[in-house]
Amino acid sequence: MAVSRMRFKATNNGTYYIDLAKALSLQERRLHRQKAIYTVYGGFFVDSQGNRCNINTAPMTWVTKRSVNRGFAMWRKMTARTLTDAGATSKSKYRDFKVKLDVDMSNSPLVPVDANDQNLYSSGPEWEYSLLTTADPDAAGVSTADQFSLQIVGQHVPDGANPGQWHRIGLVQSWIDSRPSPEASQPNDIPDVTDPLMNLFDEGDVIDDRLVRINTEGDGPPYDELIAFGNASGTSGGENNLARQSVAVPATATPVAAVHGFQALCGLLQVKVGSDNGANQWELVLDVETKGEKF
């Protein structure tokens, strides 16, 4: 076990994002691939104004993991096929599959700083999120190729400048759309209960009642067929489809609060401090396992 203690800081309340793979790559000076499960053992949050800090991640479900794996497979296939078709090779040492958490995450998540609030770099480190270029024919009247980035949770985001194209694709939504919906009537259901031969030895209505019950009980899934924890539409934005991992609530008299341990899919965190965007200095320190868990 190797732990890296990282310190993040901001000067305003609001919603921020942390990419642990990017932060570890910067602080530890080697590439930490994003497609992994990163473990945070704990930490502390400091805020002299006593604002509440919520830390959210993508839901740690098999659907979410399968969705990210599917996106990774498509990205890898696109890259390999393009190089093969062009008769080219690539020696890009640091090329990596990178996704965003949700629709509000930008290209500039928080990065760790030292004890004196100084950056750990002199020039910005390169960390570009994956951009896919589709081979699908363009929409009517659109001449440019459709390119889009990827987010784990949330609905697809249309490209406002180019109707019929996409700005960002939700991986969970894409996975749901690619799956066949569970049918209400499965092929292995009991046959028609009115069949004469099935009623040949029927001495009363109880058999019919039982067959009707057996035929209808449990013939649907115990979940929404089209909605999963990760692609449900919401009204308030912000924390839609994210899982709450920890809450830290310091007091003005005691401005330090503990952060609980948790795991983060692809190392992506949403950090929400306070209820508005007022001026306020805060810091968040996390103890992160440097070796991500493959999935």
* 212-248 tens-digit pLDDT: 766 776 777 777 788 888 888 766 555 678 999 999 9
CA distance 229 to 222: 14
Q: Compare 106 and 142 and report the one with higher pLDDT.
A: 106
C-alpha closest to that of 272 among 98, 52, 110: 52
CA distance 160 to 59: 28
Question: Which residues are CB-contacts of 165 (< 8 A; sequence separation ≥ 6)?
Answer: 138, 139, 142, 146, 148, 158, 159
CA distance 109 to 19: 6
Q: What is the structure's pLDDT at 207?
A: 65
Contacts made by residues 214-217, CB under 8 angstroms, sequence distance 24+:
214/190, 215/189, 215/190
Predicted TM-score (pTM) of this structure: 0.83
Using one digit for the tens of pLDDT, what is the confidence trace for 6-44? 999 999 999 999 999 999 999 999 999 999 999 999 999
Query: What's the chain's average pLDDT?
Result: 85
Residue 186 reports pLDDT greater than 60: no
Mean pLDDT for the stretch of residues 51-58: 96
Using one digit for the tens of pLDDT, what is the confidence trace for 150-185? 999 999 988 877 777 889 999 999 999 888 766 555
